[in-house]
Amino acid sequence: MLRKRIIPCLDVRNGTVVKGVNFVGLREMGDPTAHARYYNDEGADELVILDITASREERRSMVHVVESVADALSIPLTVGGGIRSANDVRDMLNAGADRVSLNTAMVQRPDLIQEAADHFGSQCVVAAIDARKRADAPGWEVFIYGGHEPTGRDAVAWACEVEERGAGEILLTSMDRDGTQIGYDIPLLQALTAKVRIPVIASGGAGTLEHFAEGLLEGGASAVLAASLFHTRALTIPDLKSYLRTQGVPVR
């Protein structure tokens, strides 16, 4: 079994780390570079930084923030938010990112996935899917613009399509669980991981050590992502990795 990854996530707005619940009620949580340095030293396997308002505000992601964060890291960095073209992907990679996360722009123009994969390789392309359980039908719906706009797309079908188009990994966020700390959405994870061959990162809902193990073992995720639980230092990455080893989960 491949080793599982532990990934902190920095949601950034106006150059500051923020976190909310169900994509709303954002509160400020400090400087992204300071957080990055801490996680690098803590033993995180990777770091994700998302400019959460760039797409809605129709602007590019903040290159200077990415450069500062990248300078603080010796682990892989994934950057998302406001990336609309292959040139934007190049700019983020040049700023120090190892991978880029595509969301709103790839839903609006799916060819962007192939363009990015063709130019830079599938390993550089992370397809971010924000999904919410449908109230009036089975399954989960894809949302864009930081969770503000429904698309009508089925999350599982969209996951299969992004894989076919060349994405190398999926970052799957449950909007229903985001910031709640009640656990990952295991049925959503199982539905996706049963259909795609590329790695899936579980995001949204982690609140206890057990939740991480559930996401990896029951949900089938290749990596688990969390934000506020790590930002508040309620849980450390060394403690989490130690616990996962006791559960038979191979970690780095």
Just list the catalytic residues: 11, 130
Residues 149 and 143: beta-carbon distance below 8 Å: yes
Q: Which tokens go with 195? A: 């259909």
Question: d(Cα 117, Cα 242) in Å, to the nearest integer?
Answer: 35
Task: Quickly tell me which residue has 């040139």 as its tokens.
Answer: 87
Decide if 177 contacts 205 (C-beta within 8 A): yes
Query: Residue 146: which region, alpha, beta or left (left: phi > 0; alpha: psi -120 to 50)?
Result: left
Closest CA to 99 of 51, 172, 58, 48: 48
For residue 24, what is the DSSP state?
E
Q: Based on C-alpha coordinates, what's the Rg of the chain?
A: 16
